[in-house]
Structure 1
């Protein structure tokens, strides 16, 4: 369990942590000189027979609220401190508001410096404490009176904290999303941690520290910085409460030594995570509550400071479904940030005004991938409201209902911080899934979509009966032009498996459709195909074929064009046709090059096949055109999940 302090400056937060743990968490010379906390401080309290309890000491100065939010975002139990001689002060109220906005419901109010006032004033402070938390998420929390100087009440407070940890172990509760993350340590959650400290140690190299938000981390695991998901770093060492360990679990504060990570590559405020859940976004939707004490409503277009864990960026608010958000009310919003952030469903957030002098609102993330257009349609708003619930199965069903083209499992996992299913998706009624459970769609959406594909192919065969069918990408444009390519590929696989359509050498056709060449064309095809096969990667052009066969060039050209429409040849450029066997072999070669380098270029393909650069470019552009590759700059990438030229045996 992680315990965090909160309260006004000079109300005894650091002294209380020292009294509870024996550790002075003020480590900076300026902190010791001025007697105030500037950076987050960390300590641990050993509990016989239980895990140690971690403490996070936050600064109380009004100019350091951003640091306080970073520290408070990872705690499980809050100690709200009120000095007996001062009473409730401005930062007491602001810190309490922040804790409430973060959804923290477990804690205690601690009246410090009890030795400095008489009994009547102490009783008054206790009453004030109960009143100030009455309208917050911490309502009903116990109130303790202590003195860090004399030790009065310290043992009682210790026992209260230990009891809270025991209760947490029994219940495994989470303050924001209890039903979703009843077990944050479960294997189906990917590990992630907001970094609040980065330093180097002799013999260990770069070390990052923070609270592990979810998942488990073991020595030897591979983790990445969320903004660089392709660059993984091996976990070299783990420490928890200054003790070397082999594994840490969600809810624990830890330090992680990472092999290969330079100090200059990482900084506080970044996110460390399992590469499988890494995501970045500049637009996301959330459920937001405006503080009741705000003087005016929050309107769309308002510029704010967004705090999420240790991340802080400027953002613009768009209130969804209504013109503004009134004080004390809650609503759906979209937040557009000025630089990418790393968020997942259920992450708590806090908004402060543009000058960072006042806390405005708080809430939690509902959808990490916000829409640029159609964000306020009734369907979208209904979907977002349905995402504001803790039961993950219900959110999955809502997502299916909102997505007419189906749901990419990997994409949905990532948005929810998952690396595996926490439930059996095929047990949910009226859900259609592909063979490998990569794509899911609600049955009411699947029927009409299936009919559109069949109708489009029927129309194509009626208009062009001599052609085998449209290629994969053309079929998508004819049937479902708005469907994302990745989902289209998965849909096509499902329709093939169900027997609705057939994939014939890269072309899509109905099972009942058959095409035949005319007798004269078949005679020419029988003569040209062996020549194309013998030519391998450098076959003869149409004019050369015509000369070799002593046939009219126009007749050879028309025959090969008809043959290409039936899938019997592949047209690379005008008057240049390749045999299907050769094209399949080149596709296999491209797969190998991509497996080695992650992409293929004109130069690497040229060297691999022994052709000139111009021909290599023409062939790669052909593979781009039919949907096997996708060009990004000078690189050609294999389209994810392509059904063209499958690996033999897959």
Structure 2
């Protein structure tokens, strides 16, 4: 037996013979509920395996046709790959025939055939008329060229041709890819004595193995798969498109309900809003007004929602518009999922719920969007075009964000497994579209370019507002960039490489920039530099400098900042500033101590400098900051920068003396 992970589904008007046809296909009666037996129609979804030519097994879902249970039909349609569209020869085309065809189209079904049932009840003329009517109905739809197979569930006439056609359609249908995170919309839940909770559903993506952890969303519960059946047989693995029953004893069955999602990761968000493209049926009567209350059907879930339009204030039959679906209750949704919307339209002149349209989810959020925001519309349009291309979607996620993303971040945005995301990023890097950053993060080249442009503009604005300063510090730049600051390092590197900016001491400046310093200010800078050089490690405070050079404190502080920006002075903390030569001399002292021992104490460093803790401690803290030393309690060990300058023999050092 070979399993092909696709799902067949029936669709059509009530009492047109769908369940009887499935019984012939599978040998199973999919009407399982007592109410179904009593009423003689399918209320809920029925699942069964079907064996085709070549000993292949596919799944079959029998969906209800009665108008009262159309929501269950939508729930079944989400998992269908091939539809058997059923029309009874005696009744012909009926109301739910139309509505089921609309739902199948909206749910993206691409393959199918037509079963013209109950031919034993009509003559040849009637059969021919109904076939012509079916062809007219299906014109321009995905079933336009589908084979129409007349048959009788009672006499068996026509089944040979039907099975031949079914095998051909199944052969032409590709299996569902098993890539991506495993996601299963919950179809049903029950308990088995001795085993506990059993949940059934059809994985829409990914694959499942025994022992795998599963998250129940949006409930936030987790359990492991103890046992598993695919089409009623014990299995060690299930794939997208197969009907699977999962034994999850760690999850209370009372916490599980249809419309929830089982996922291998908690990356799927539970949201109250979803951005989508909505297409209104051309056959709809009336108009859809902004903020219409509707029934939103996705997967096996159904929830009340408001349709907030993002481009206009109403929709007419056949129109398409970007909308935000505002849900009355949170659902676990991902981009790409198809949905159907049903509502009561007063403008149609009809009463009761009717299918008005559907579409695909483009994004999920918990933030209300405003109408006619061009950036939002452009972003959603780009998402729509990338939905079916994982590589393009991953690149778009990197383009959209102002901050770099790790592989874990991309897993949550692309809903792919870690190895799939890694391969995606590798491809984008090879094409030069994505850049790697520190900390295992990645950024799109365009995003880095946009941040670089903002940085250059910020530097130019800073120069205009502060002509007397040498440049802007990295901290000041980061404050002006906001969330984009995480791309600052890479963006600055690109600007430096392009020669558009340069480092002016410890600050960044536009290429060719020179601070506007008067002769008097430069003379004061020279006097301060001389005083700081002479002071060595026992550096004077700003107040002491002002007194020594006979200048006002604000002017001295301004020159201290300028000299610090030029890199002549180094600001160790709020109180202590040293000449760069004194800092380098302090590093040499540390290296000599490391040559004698593996670590040294603050007291030993202070004594080696011959100054008080007032100067020794800030200098040590600065050396920690620049990774020259590493603090461990009251001792310092060589940091990365110190190790680069130590010879192997010096780096060995002796252990610290006891008591230090």
Q: TM-score, normalised by structure 2?
A: 0.69
Deviations 1:203-225 (A, max 9, x none): 32111111110111111111111
Corresponding residue of 1:548 = none
**Is residue 2:185 matched to residue 1:191?**
no
Corresponding residue of 2:657 = none
Deviations 1:313-369 (A, max 9, x none): 111112222332221122222211121122222110000005862001111112223
**Is residue 2:414 matched to residue 1:416?**
yes
In the TM superposition, what is the alpha-carbon distance from 1:479 to its structure 2 partner? 2.1
In the TM superposition, what is the alpha-carbon distance from 1:512 to its structure 2 partner? 7.1
Aligned residue among 54, 57, 80 for 1:52: 57
Task: Return the alpha-carbon distance in structure 1 between the equivalents of residues 140 and 619 of structure 2.
Answer: 74
CA gap 1:457/1:241 in 2 versus in 1, 3 angstroms: farther
CA gap 1:63/1:100 in 2 versus in 1, 3 angstroms: same
Deviations 1:158-202 (A, max 9, x none): 23222222222xx44xxxxxxxxxx6213xx11001011111123
CA gap 1:413/1:297 in 2 versus in 1, 3 angstroms: farther
CA gap 1:448/1:583 in 2 versus in 1, 3 angstroms: farther
- Match of 2:273, SS? strand
CA gap 1:358/1:451 in 2 versus in 1, 3 angstroms: same
CA gap 1:446/1:59 in 2 versus in 1, 3 angstroms: same
- Match of 2:247, SS? strand
Corresponding residue of 1:617 = none
Contact preservation (8 Å) 1:19, 1:154: no
Structure 2 counterparts to residues 120-131 of structure 1, below 5 A: 120-131=125-136
Task: Return the alpha-carbon distance in structure 1 between the equivalents of residues 458 and 266 of structure 2.
Answer: 33
- Match of 1:138, SS? coil
- Match of 1:56, SS? strand
Contact preservation (8 Å) 1:305, 1:356: no
Task: Return the alpha-carbon distance in structure 2 between the equivalents of residues 520 and 31 of structure 1.
Answer: 83
In the TM superposition, what is the alpha-carbon distance from 1:240 to its structure 2 partner? 0.6
CA gap 1:59/1:26 in 2 versus in 1, 3 angstroms: same
In the TM superposition, what is the alpha-carbon distance from 1:111 to its structure 2 partner? 1.1
Task: Return the alpha-carbon distance in structure 2 between the equivalents of residues 349 and 522 of structure 1.
Answer: 64
Corresponding residue of 2:119 = 114
Deviations 1:362-419 (A, max 9, x none): 1111222375345632232122222222333334444455445555654444243212
Contact preservation (8 Å) 1:301, 1:316: yes
Corresponding residue of 1:297 = 287
Aligned residue among 105, 108, 116 for 1:103: 108
Corresponding residue of 1:372 = 368
Corresponding residue of 1:261 = 251
Corresponding residue of 2:17 = 12
In the TM superposition, what is the alpha-carbon distance from 1:262 to its structure 2 partner? 1.3
Task: Return the alpha-carbon distance in structure 2 between the equivalents of residues 518 and 359 of structure 1.
Answer: 68
Task: Return the alpha-carbon distance in structure 1 between the equivalents of residues 469 and 106 of structure 2.
Answer: 63
**Is residue 2:372 matched to residue 1:381?**
no
Contact preservation (8 Å) 2:198, 2:246: yes
CA gap 1:301/1:499 in 2 versus in 1, 3 angstroms: closer
- Match of 1:46, SS? strand
Corresponding residue of 2:203 = 212
**Is residue 2:415 matched to residue 1:425?**
no
- Match of 1:190, SS? coil
Task: Return the alpha-carbon distance in structure 1 between the equivalents of residues 408 and 634 of structure 2.
Answer: 29
**Is residue 2:324 matched to residue 1:363?**
no
Task: Return the alpha-carbon distance in structure 1 between the equivalents of residues 310 and 137 of structure 2.
Answer: 32
Structure 2 counterparts to residues 547-558 of structure 1, below 5 A: none
- Match of 1:289, SS? strand
CA gap 1:50/1:418 in 2 versus in 1, 3 angstroms: farther
Contact preservation (8 Å) 1:113, 1:146: yes
Task: Return the alpha-carbon distance in structure 1 between the equivalents of residues 257 and 294 of structure 2.
Answer: 23
Quote the RMSD (CA, aligned, Å): 4.0
CA gap 1:122/1:496 in 2 versus in 1, 3 angstroms: same
Task: Return the alpha-carbon distance in structure 2 between the equivalents of residues 300 and 319 of structure 1.
Answer: 6
Corresponding residue of 1:89 = 94
CA gap 1:451/1:122 in 2 versus in 1, 3 angstroms: same
Task: Return the alpha-carbon distance in structure 2 between the equivalents of residues 394 and 375 of structure 1.
Answer: 26
Corresponding residue of 1:314 = 304
Larger Rg: 2
CA gap 1:102/1:464 in 2 versus in 1, 3 angstroms: same
- How many residue pairs align between the two structures? 516
Task: Return the alpha-carbon distance in structure 1 between the equivalents of residues 276 and 165 of structure 2.
Answer: 34
Q: Which moved more, 1:491-500 or 1:92-101?
A: 491-500
- Match of 2:52, SS? coil
- Match of 1:368, SS? strand
**Is residue 2:424 matched to residue 1:434?**
no
Structure 2 counterparts to residues 396-411 of structure 1, below 5 A: 396-405=394-403, 410-411=408-409
CA gap 1:307/1:24 in 2 versus in 1, 3 angstroms: same
**Is residue 2:79 matched to residue 1:74?**
yes
CA gap 1:480/1:375 in 2 versus in 1, 3 angstroms: farther
Deviations 1:65-90 (A, max 9, x none): 00110011111011111111111111
Task: Return the alpha-carbon distance in structure 2 between the equivalents of residues 365 and 380 of structure 1.
Answer: 14
Deviations 1:502-547 (A, max 9, x none): xxxxxx9879755246999689xxxxxxxxxxxxxxxxxxxxxxxx
**Is residue 2:194 matched to residue 1:203?**
yes
Task: Return the alpha-carbon distance in structure 1 between the equivalents of residues 155 and 379 of structure 2.
Answer: 56
Q: Which moved more, 1:286-295 or 1:158-167?
A: 158-167
**Is residue 2:339 matched to residue 1:344?**
no
**Is residue 2:230 matched to residue 1:226?**
no
Task: Return the alpha-carbon distance in structure 1 between the equivalents of residues 416 and 271 of structure 2.
Answer: 17
Contact preservation (8 Å) 2:397, 2:413: no
Structure 2 counterparts to residues 496-575 of structure 1, below 5 A: 513=567, 515-516=570-571
Task: Return the alpha-carbon distance in structure 2 between the equivalents of residues 518 and 106 of structure 1.
Answer: 71
Uncovered stretches (5+) of structure 1, i.e. residues with no partner:
173-182, 501-507, 524-550, 571-578, 586-650
Deviations 1:554-579 (A, max 9, x none): x98xx99x959986999xxxxxxxx9
Aligned residue among 142, 146, 154 for 1:137: 142
Contact preservation (8 Å) 2:309, 2:371: no
Task: Return the alpha-carbon distance in structure 1 between the equivalents of residues 284 and 339 of structure 2.
Answer: 17
Contact preservation (8 Å) 2:53, 2:167: no
Task: Return the alpha-carbon distance in structure 1 between the equivalents of residues 60 and 89 of structure 2.
Answer: 22
Contact preservation (8 Å) 1:344, 1:415: no
CA gap 1:209/1:583 in 2 versus in 1, 3 angstroms: farther
Uncovered stretches (5+) of structure 2, i.e. residues with no partner:
1-5, 345-350, 497-505, 509-564, 579-611, 636-660
- Match of 1:255, SS? strand
Q: TM-score, normalised by structure 1?
A: 0.70
Structure 2 counterparts to residues 276-291 of structure 1, below 5 A: 277-291=267-281
